[in-house]
Amino acid sequence: MSRLELRPATRSGSGTRTERHFLDYVVDGQPWAARHRLDEVTPLGWGTADLARAAVAQLLVEAPPDLDGRVALYVCAECGDHLCGALTARVSRQDDVVTWSDFADTYWELDRWEHDPTAYVDWRAVRFSLPDYRRALAVALPG
């Protein structure tokens, strides 16, 4: 099983880029914002309380995914809109195990979602123990 932490991170700002403070996924000690190298941030730690609750519910597979059966792990750092692009995954739960798999760049193209997995072919599925995973995600929930 892999271990998930949420750790404060910052996307630097300059010119037209907004500095963004967010909670990054750290899987087995590796921060994923540095791993994917996109100009995207998690939907956790910088939006509204309702958005954080909705994202956590999807990550816990307690709410339906919103992108062709996929969950946005990272979203546009400027607006958080999935239409701007997202790093998505299939998130599934069986008994006390949550799995992230099938990672892809996802974007809106000609009235449909496109999913490009080519940059993530070496990314293997990660599995988390539900109790530990739930505790890690609780950091992102307000009050």
Question: What integer pLDDT is reported at residue 83 of this predicted model?
Answer: 80
Establish if 68 belongs to a structural domain: yes
Question: How high is the pLDDT of residue 2?
Answer: 98
Q: Which tokens hold the place of 139?
A: 């950091």
Cα distance between the two ends of the chain: 29
Q: Is it the case that residue 143 has pLDDT exceeding 80?
A: no
Nearest residue to 75 (alpha-carbon basis) of 59, 64, 88: 88
Least confident span in 20-24, 46-50, 92-96, 97-101: 46-50
In a domain, 109, yes or no: yes
Q: How far is CA 104 from CA 47, 75, 89, 121, 142, in A?
A: 23, 12, 6, 9, 29
Amino acid making up residue 81: D
Residue 30: band (very low, low, confident or very high) from pLDDT cuts 50, 70, 90 = very high
Q: How many domains does the chain have?
A: 1
User: Is 143 a member of any domain?
Assistant: no
Range of the domain at 132: 4-138
